Structure 1
Amino acid sequence: MNETIEQIRQTALSEGFAAMGIAPAVTSAGFHQLVDWIESGYAGTMDYIDRRREAYRHPSGVLPGAKSIIVLAMNYDSADPEALTELRSDRRNDPSHASYGRVARYTWSGEDYHDVIHPKLKRIIREIRASIPGANARGIVDTAPLMEREVAVLAGLGWRGKNTLLLNKQLGSYFFLSCILVDVELPTDQPHEGHHCGNCTACLDACPTDAFPEPGVMDARRCISYLTIEQSELPQESLRSGIGDWLFGCDICQEVCPWNRRPAKRSQEMTGLRQHRREGWGKQSSDGWFELESLFLMDDDEFRHRFRKTPFWRSRRRGMLRNAIIVMGNQPRPEHLGRLFGVLDEDDPILRAAAVWAILQHEDEAAKERLVSYRHRETDPLVVAEFEKK
């Protein structure tokens, strides 16, 4: 069996995974914490978590008869933080780049990581079935009801940081987790012992929307990633300024983490994906910026053509456009006003409401006076409420 495991490990490395560990498929020790989290309302509108609540209790909810779990980590882009800070400073200070928003680092490759990782898991599963006749296995990438980070700790891949993410001394936290559940007992790795965050609270202190009510607990309703990706409605006004220039996702709590400032083992596959980004990303640059103007110029069909196989498809054009409007409100510039006023003719009241708010962030009295004519024709309560905040 040890020879089989070593062969699986070598295959995983050849597929681009940076680390692998094996955990027993046992009842989740943290299940009650998940229940408390859901009942505290911290899941926001992610009702699918609650609907599958019981399935999280034991891995058999994902694969009946599961006995072992192979946990795999694949790096995504982990650019040098100091160089990245310098690039972003240059971007902000260059007037020609005024209309850009930031996107989370895991999107930089231009590929949907599920599409990248699933074929790799299938190839590993074929090897498992060939080596262990009769074995049943299932590969998952963060879409099944499994306590993946808890399992990763049991597999020895790291510890849960105060920002709730899995941390690894060599890899930091810029990596995807995926799992292969099998219905046979495999030799397991030693669980990771201890936590290595010490007294550091950099991730908690840096969050501009105060998404962490306590260390190790995240209120998704306040998380920028949730607000820009998962939530379909307009974020509440008190959180909009905290979104800053984030168009899709957020990396703040990872960027400030000391463990992400250490050299990381880089996955050749994901590095290669970044070097050969999907065509059609407009003028997005390699330092994680996305041109806002392009979202106003394309329709839904063109957005689908460009981004159907990328992470941005999850928000659709409507969500991305809403986010772009909020970014424009947070960095008000005269050249944005034409686009924002154009949004007031859109059918979607969420977009119109966001545009009203964004226009009102400008120190432009003429623009505010121009809004009066739009107020008289507006009947949707959501949009009217934004006018009344003037």
Structure 2
Amino acid sequence: MLRHEFHLPSGRDGQPLIYFCGNSLGLQPRAAADRLQQELDSWRERGVEGWWGGPEGGWLGYHRRLQEGLARIVGTRPEEVVAANALTVNLHLLMVSFFRPAGKRRKIIMERGAFPSDQHAVQAQLRYHGLDPASDLIEVGPRPGETTIATEDIIDAIERAGDELALVLWTGVQYYTGQFFDLQRIADAGRRVGATIGFDLAHAAGNVPLALHDWECDFAVWCNYKYLNGGPGAPGGLFVHERYAERPDLPRFAGWWGHRESDRFLMKPAFHPAAGAAGWQVSTAPVLGLAPLLASLPLFDRAGGMSAVRARSLELTGRLYADLQEMKGMQLLTGGDPAQRGAQVSVYVPGHRPDLEKQLSELGLICDYRQDNLAGSEGGVLRLAPAPLYNTLEEVARIPDLLEQALHPIR
């Protein structure tokens, strides 16, 4: 869609590589260097006065420059989102506020096989409250012989947990299989039993259409370096529903950048949180880390918004899925229903091949290979993620031939 707006990695022959790894690290927008240079120039020319002077009013309210763009991508109001901290840091910060076990309502539900950082954070939070993950963590996984999780099984697990359930923490798009979950139904089911609802959108933000405000979830977190192209280690993003915008009574691990701006610099010991999601900022805004996002977010608007991005994604993954189905000896882990997959198709390759990723790179395809962790078999999984903003159907069409060359080289 906007391929010309990105720097494309190239091979030894100088030709662009097929980059199907936007689910791990998005490509660099061409405008990112200018955005960074603008802030470097301000730092060089103004020093500390760059906080309140220079382009666009200085750095003091830097996070506000990103709020409207992020809000359009995740389906919220601007004051409900902020780019700050990091993904797992934000998950911990928001669980401090929204996971409040009391009495028998103390359990958390999440998907089995969630990204390890989520598993680490959830288990740590349970133990922090004196709870035991063995009894207070409910995990829902695929049915025997299946690779994706049925929505009905998620809803059933929520309903069975009932008034013992304190938090539903669910993933938007499953990192391993690429499954896109029905977040609205999950949120509705959680609310019906009185649980708090949180989403990890690490693989969903900038990938699939979201409507966090309308779904009435309580909070969400994501990273900005995958489909949002914010650069390696870019600060994360978080959402807090507007019903909590003016709730200074909520427990939180406070930091001074989350203090209201009107008297932040009076340096008083009492903490008065900023309204909205900004109140969950902790440390000083990392200006140089946020700058590339100012180059990336406008590209989604230029592409026509998330509905247009999604339409292109379905076109790319539809062709990729159909082509991979025709290849013998591989099993698709991603479901066949286009509505239940993001910009990713995962395929199981028999026989553990730790060299496969390197071989594919040498052939001109950058993707992700992991040893299989679903069936415990001797094989691996390729995660192929064509990003709608910069990948093409022509690139998708080359995938079967490249896989064939890597898997069955001519001796």
Confirm or deny a common fold (TM above 0.5): no
TM class, shorter-chain normalised? under 0.3
TM-score when normalising by structure 2: 0.23
Give the structure with the higher percent helix.
1
TM-score when normalising by structure 1: 0.24
